[in-house]
A and B are shown apart, each in its own frame.
Chain A
Amino acid sequence: TVGCVALDKDGNLTAGTSTGGMMNKRFGRIGDSPIIGAGTYANNASCAVSCTGHGEFFIRLGVAKDISSMMEYQNISLEEASNKAIDKLTQIGGTGGIIGLDKNGNIVMKMNTNGMYRAYSNSKGETEILIYK
């Protein structure tokens, strides 16, 4: 799975995710990537999120929308909401990671696996490419 979230100069957030699905899948299995709210979500009022991992768990938790909702209803930061989402994922046995951006340009890259291919850059000139945890 690959994904991207971005905040433009007009303050608009976008999230996108694309995947080949799960190796050896059958019966037309679909994971979380194409399901809005599970693997992908964006709302200018809160954040943009793209997920990767074991899709069935992300679908059951509605992870991407859950992060946005926690920010809106609990008035917590993207960082805090993302940590809670990964905790929920871990508790039910799911594995994977998320990337996110809030309306102020704050970045999160969270996972409960050994690693995640990930990178970011911003208008401050900050940029980083990471693979391992």
Chain B
Amino acid sequence: SDYAIVIHGGAGTILRKDFTPEKETLYKKVLQEALQIGDSILRNGGSSLDAVEKTIRILENSPLFNAGKGAVFTNSGKNELDASIMWGKDLNAGAVAGVDDIKNPISAARKVMENSEHVMLSGHGASEFAKTQGLEIVDQSYFFTQNRWDHLQEILKKEKEMTPEDRHG
């Protein structure tokens, strides 16, 4: 192929019986939107780096997936996000870990790759770096989604051990 793009929105216990047709349509719509953004960039001669970043931003901005808005909650009721990016041309790479106020962590990962001498920045320092790069910083409440919160409360209430069925990527 001249160009190609592949995306994922997590793997886990995804059963047909848990999915109404409406829910399935909702997920496919966001996947389609993300795919189209990346495909469009590549079709017009853009770089794979741009395609990957812009595509992932769409998925991060959707509450359906466990990244960005829609991220799951930690035991203490926070959202902690991680992201990384790597360019195959020169093996350059960037990553952020445990950040809680960067709207699009994938863009922060790219900034780390391009504008720092490091590969991975974490926590508060990563956020400070993101600010210097002009990335959008948001209040923690931006990442709140009711269903993820309810799921955490359910887990905490039952004090149950995590099982493979609870892990969705």
Contacts and interface: CB of A to CB of B under 8 A. Distances in A.
Interface string A106-127: 0101010111111111111001
Contact of B4 (A53, A105, A116, A118): A105
**Secondary structure call for the B interface:** mixed
Nearest to B47: A8
Given A24-B152, A113-B12, A13 B3 contact: no
B86 A24 contact: no
A36 B84 contact: yes
A20 B140 CA distance: 13
Interface string B117-142: 00110110000000000000000000
Interface string A7-45: 111101111111111111110101101111001111111
Contacts of B38: 4, 6, 121
A58 B55 CA distance: 23
Chain A contact patch, size range = 35 or more
A19 to B, nearest CB: 5
Contacts of A124: 1
A23 B32 contact: no
A131 B24 contact: yes
B49 A14 contact: yes
A132 B16 contact: yes
Nearest to B58: A2
B80 A33 contact: no
B6 A39 contact: no
Given A21-B81, A99-B7, A129-B28, 12 more contacts: A3-B56, A7-B1, A19-B83, A20-B80, A21-B71, A28-B98, A34-B84, A43-B91, A95-B12, A121-B39, A123-B3, A132-B16
Interface of A: 1-10, 12-26, 28, 30-31, 33-36, 39-45, 48, 50, 52-54, 95-97, 99-101, 104-105, 107, 109, 111, 113-124, 127, 129, 131-132
